[in-house]
Structure 1
Amino acid sequence: MQDSISYNKLWKLLIDKNMKKKDLQEASGISAASIAKLGRNGNVTVEVLVKICQALDCDIGDICEVIKEQG
C-alpha cells in the first residue's frame, strides 16, 4: 500500500482567506491543470507548491499532508 497526499489544508486555508480556486490560480501563477490535480489530491511539482506558499504567505505543511495508508 502507498501513502497518499491530501490538500484539504489548502482548501481550508482558501476558505479562511475568502479565496476561490480561480483566485489562487491568478495569485500564484499556476495553471488550471495544476488546480485540477490538487482538487483530485494528485501529484504536482514542488515548484507548484512553492508558488502557492508564496502567494498565500504560508509554509508547505500548511497546505498539504501525507495520509498514511491503513494496513
Structure 2
Amino acid sequence: MENLGTEKLKECKMKFSYNKLWKLLIDKGWTKSKLREEAKISSSSMAKLNNGGNVTTGILIKICSALDCDISDIAEIVKD
C-alpha cells in the first residue's frame, strides 16, 4: 500500500472540518475547556482542532467517547 506523504495529501484538495464539533459543544452547553478536560486531551491537540489541523484518530475517539457520539457527529471531510 502506498504511503501518502504530505505533498500527495495537498493534491487531494480535501480537509477535515470540525464545525460539527463546535456546534455540538454549543448544543450541549459545553466549553472547549470542558471538552478538553472530559476527553482528557492535551492543549496542543485542542489547538490543532481550533486551527483545523490534523489530530490522530485516537483523539477523535476520546472526543466521541466524552460526548457520547459518533465521529460523523463531530467531523466531516470538505473541499479545501
TM-score between the two structures when normalised by the length of structure 1? 0.93
1:46 aligned to 2:61? no
- Give CA deviations for 1:10-63 in whole Å, capped at 9, x if unaligned: 000000010000000000000011111001110000000000000000000000
Higher-RCO chain (CA-CA 8 Å, sequence separation at least 6): 1
Hey, which bits of structure 1, 4+ residues long, moved more than 6 A?
none
Q: Percent identity?
A: 57
Letter in 2 for 1:48: I
In structure 2, stretches of 5+ residues that fail to align are 1-10
1:17 aligned residue? 28
Q: Whose Rg is larger?
A: 2
Q: Which runs of 5+ in 1 are unaligned?
A: none
Normalised by the length of structure 2, the TM-score is 0.83
Q: How many residues align?
A: 69
